[in-house]
Amino acid sequence: MSEPTVEDAIALGLTADEYALVCEKLGRAPVQVELAMFSLMWSEHCSYKHSKKLLGTLPTEGEAVFMGPGENAGAVRVSGDLVCAFKVESHNHPSAVEPFQGAATGVGGILRDIFALGARPVAVLDALRFGEPTSERSRYLLDRAVAGIGHYGNSIGVPTIGGDVYFEGPYETNCLVNAMALGLAREEEMIKSAAVGLGNRLVLFGASTGRDGIGGASVLASAEFGEDDADKRPSVQVGDPFEEKKLLECSLELLARGLLVSLQDCGAAGLTSAASEMASKGEVGLEIDLDVVPLREQGMEPFEIMVSESQERMLCVCEPSRVGEVVAVCQKWEVHGTAIGTVIEERVMRILQHGSVAGEMPVEALVDDCPMYPIFPEKPAAPLYPAPEGTLSVEADLHATLIALLASPNLASRLPLFQQYDWIVQSRTVRRPGDADAAVLALPDGSALAASIDCNGRRVACDPYVGAVEAALECAANLACVGAKPLGTTNNLNFGNPERPEVAWQLTEAVRGLGDACRALEAPIVGGNVSLYNQGVDGPIYPTPVVGMVGALPSAEAAGRMGFAHEGDAIALVGWNKTPSLEGSELAKLRGEPLPDGLPGYDLDHEVRVLDVVREAVRSGAVTSAHDIAEGGLLVAIAECCLAGEIGADMDAISADLGFVLHFGERRGGFVLSGPRDVLAALDVPLDLFGTVGGDVLRVGDPGGPEVSWTLTELRGAHAALAPLFP
C-alpha cells in the first residue's frame, strides 16, 4: 500500500498545516495507521482545539466535587460516602445520518463513561432537538431516535427518567441527541483511567472489533454537514445493549475484586483515544500487539483496528500476575478478555503487527501537543436566523392563545414520548416524567438525588449570554421545585462552525453566561462535552449549551410535585422582580415574530435567594405544589399545574394593559406555588397571591370584560397534540 499523502490527511479532516506539524513531530512522514490516529486525536471532537481555552474559564471546584473534569465523567458527593458520577455527551451527527443507531449508541457510550469510573448507572436523561414536526424528515428522526434510546436503555435495565425536546427550524438539517447518565458508587469504589505501573498489562475486554464507526470522530463529528451526509452512514456505530449489560457487570466485578489498576472505555476514536489518553494521564507509554485483538472481520488493516469505534469495549490495566483472573471474570460474563499490550517507560504509542512495528508516535504529540486555535468572535451585524413561520394571529383572544400554546410542539405534553421508555426499572424512581419539574431517585439512606437537563436554543440565539444563564437557572429551578440543592453541573455545548465569527461570538458569550450562572448557583461544572460544526447548507443550528444539573434532598418522601392537589389552597406567583417580556417567547414564535436582538438580564443574587426560599418551602412541606414558570409564561404554568393535579383553579383578574404580557410573557426565576394562604404570604420573596385551587375548570378574571375559562378536558386535549407521533 502506498504511503499516505497530504491529500489523504485532508480527506481525514486534517489541514495541510496540521499534516506538516505531524511530520515535524515524528521527524518523518506518517504511515497510514499513524495518520489515521493523528486525524482522530487532533479532531475537534477529541481535542477541543477551538474550545479548550474557553472551557478553562468555567468554575470546576466546589465543596461537593469528588472528581472534576479530566476523567470519563465528573462526580459529586451526595450522602455520606455515596458519590454520584454524571455526564452529558452528544451523538448529533451520527443521529442525523442513522437516528436509531446514533441515539442508541449515544446512550451506550454515556453509560460506559459512568461505569468506567466504577459507578453503577442508575438513570438516563436525554435532550433532543429536531426541526418542526410538520417536516417529514424531522418526524422520522424523532421517531427513530426515541426508538433507539428506548431500545438501548430499556434493554440494559437503566431507567430513562427525564429530559427535554424542542422543535425548531434550524435543527432541521442537524438534529441534536444529547444523553446524560447518572451512576452511584461508594468513594472507595471509584477508579481513574491513568495507565500506571511499568510492565503492567493492557487488557481489552468486551465485544470484538469490526469496521463499524471508522472515522466517526474526525470525518463525521468534526465537520459541517453537506448535502451528501447520507454517504457518511458507514461511520455510524452499531450497538448491542445486551453485550453492554454483560460488559457493565464484568467491569463492576473486576473492580469489586480489586483486579484493576485503571479503567477506560473505548468511545470516540476507539483504541486510539482510549489507550493514548490512558498513557498521557499516567505519563507512560504503551506497546500494543494488534495480532491478538479479537476481530469481527478478516483482513483488517492496522489503522482500521486502531480507529474502529465498535461499541461495548473497555480497556483496563492490571498487574501481570492478575491477567489470568481478569480473563476468567471476562469468560464468566461471556465477553472477550485479551491482554493486548504492556505499559512501557518510553513515552510512545508503539503499534505492533506480525512481529514488526506498524506505527510509533510520541504520546505527547498525539494527545498533549494538538494545535490549539484562537477563535475570533464577532457579533453578527444582521440576524442569523429567519423569523419562524407564524401559526397564530395576533388577534387571537386569551382563550384561543392558551389552547394554541398548550398544543404547540415545544409545550405539548412529552408523556407520549416518555412512555416509550422504562422509567421505573431498578425501583429508585420517586418522581417520574410529568410528576414534577425534576426527576428524583431514592437513595438507600432515605435521602434522594434529583436531576434536570435543559436549554432553550432559541432564547440563546436571541442573546447567547442571557440564554445560557437561563438554561442554568432553569435546571436549578427544576431542582428547587422538588426540594433539591444543586451539587454540580455538566454541559454539552452544541454550536455551529467555530471558525465563523458569528458562531465564535455565540460560543464565547454562552460560556461566559454559563460560568457566571454556575458560580452564583454554587453548582460547579464537573465535566461535559463540546459538539461543534452542527451546521449545514442552510446555516448553523440555534446555539444550544445544554445544561444538566444534579442535586440532593434530605428526604425522598418529601420530594415536591408540580400538580395542584388540595381544594381551597391559595395560588401564588413567587420570584419575579421584573415584568416578563413577550420578545423571544413561545407566543412570539407562534405569531411569527423575528428573534429580538437581546433579552433582559438577571440579578443573580436575587435569583439565588428566590431559589433558596422555594427549595426550603418544598423541603419543609409548607407548600403543596411547586412549578417554575418557563416557556409559555404564567398561564401555561397554571394550566400545567391543573393538568398534573387533575383539578381546576380560579385566577384573579390581571390588568387589561398588562394582560397578555403577564399571562404569556417569559422570564426565568418565577414560580407557581400552592398551599395555605398564610404560609405563602409569609414567604420572604416578591409574591402575589392571585388565585385558588378547586373545581374542574381553569377560570381567569378579565378586568376588561367577561371572565375566560377552559375545562380540564379541552386543556388536556390541546396538551396531547404530540400523541399522534407515537401511536
Look at residue 568 and tell me if it is in a domain: yes
Type and span of the H or E element at 549:
strand 544-553
Compute the average pLDDT of residues 544-550. 98
Q: What is the CATH number of the domain that holds 589?
A: 3.90.650.10
- What count of Cα atoms within 13 Å lies in the side-chain half-sphere of residue 193? 27
For 612-634, how does the pLDDT look when each residue is reduced to its tens digit (9 = 90+)?
Answer: 999 999 999 999 999 999 999 99
Q: How confident is the model at residue 268 (pLDDT cuts 50, 70, 90)?
A: confident
Position 206 pLDDT exceeds 50: yes
Average pLDDT over residues 216-244: 60
Give which of 381, 348, 358, 367 is closest to 306, Cα–Cα. Answer: 358
Q: At what angle do helices 464-480 and 501-521 cross, to 10 degrees?
A: 30
Backbone angles phi, psi at 673, to 5 degrees: -115, 150
> Total domain count for the chain?
1
521: Cβ contacts below 8 Å, ≥ 6 apart: 472, 473, 476, 486, 489, 608, 611
Helical packing angle, 241-256 and 99-115, nearest 10°: 10
Look up 91 and say whether it is catalytic: yes
Domain annotation covers residue 525: no
Cell numbers at residue 437, please?
Answer: 419539574
CA-closest candidate to residue 302, choices 266, 241, 353: 353
Residue 707: pLDDT band by 50, 70, 90 thresholds? confident
Q: Does residue 581 belong to any structural domain of this protein?
A: yes
Query: pLDDT value at position 218?
Result: 44
Asked whether the beta carbons of 240 and 311 are under 8 A apart, the reply is: yes
How sure is the predictor about 224, in pLDDT bands with cuts at 50, 70 and 90? low
pTM: 0.95
Residues 407/134, Cβ–Cβ less than 8 Å: no
Nearest to 270 by CA among 214, 207, 317: 214
pLDDT band at residue 689 under the 50/70/90 scheme? very high
Considering the domain boundaries, does residue 706 fall inside one?
yes
* Residue 490 located in a structural domain: no
pLDDT at residue 232, as a whole number = 44
Residue 571 near residue 692 (C-beta atoms within 8 A)? yes
Per-residue pLDDT, averaged over 449-457, amounts to: 98
Instruction: Determine, yes or no, domain membership for 644.
Output: yes
Share of the chain above pLDDT 90, in %: 89
Is the pLDDT reported for residue 215 higher than 80? no
The confidence band for 725, taking pLDDT boundaries of 50, 70 and 90, is: confident
**Residue 598 belongs to what domain range?**
561-727
Assess if residue 668 is contained within a domain: yes
Average pLDDT score, the chain: 93
Catalytic residue among 50, 91, 663, 719: 91
CA distance 702 to 693: 18
Residue 3: the pLDDT is: 82
566 carries an active-site annotation: no
pLDDT of residue 657: 59
Residues composing the chain: 727
d(CA 20, CA 29): 9
Q: Is the pLDDT of residue 678 over 80?
A: yes
Helices (H), 116-240: 136-156
Cβ 240 vs Cβ 326: under 8 Å: no
* pLDDT reading at 321 higher than 50: yes
Give the Cα separation of 35 and 21 in Å (integer).
Answer: 12
Per-residue confidence (pLDDT) for residue 221, from 0 to 100: 44
**Residue owning grid cell 373545581:** 695
Whether residue 520 is predicted with pLDDT greater than 50 in this model: the reply is yes
- pLDDT computed for residue 704 by the predictor: 60
Domain assignment present for 340: no
Euclidean distance between CA atoms 464 and 545, whole angstroms = 9
Q: Which of 647, 659, 627 is nearest to 716 (CA)?
A: 647
pLDDT tops 50 at residue 578: yes
Banded model confidence at residue 217, pLDDT cuts 50, 70, 90:
very low
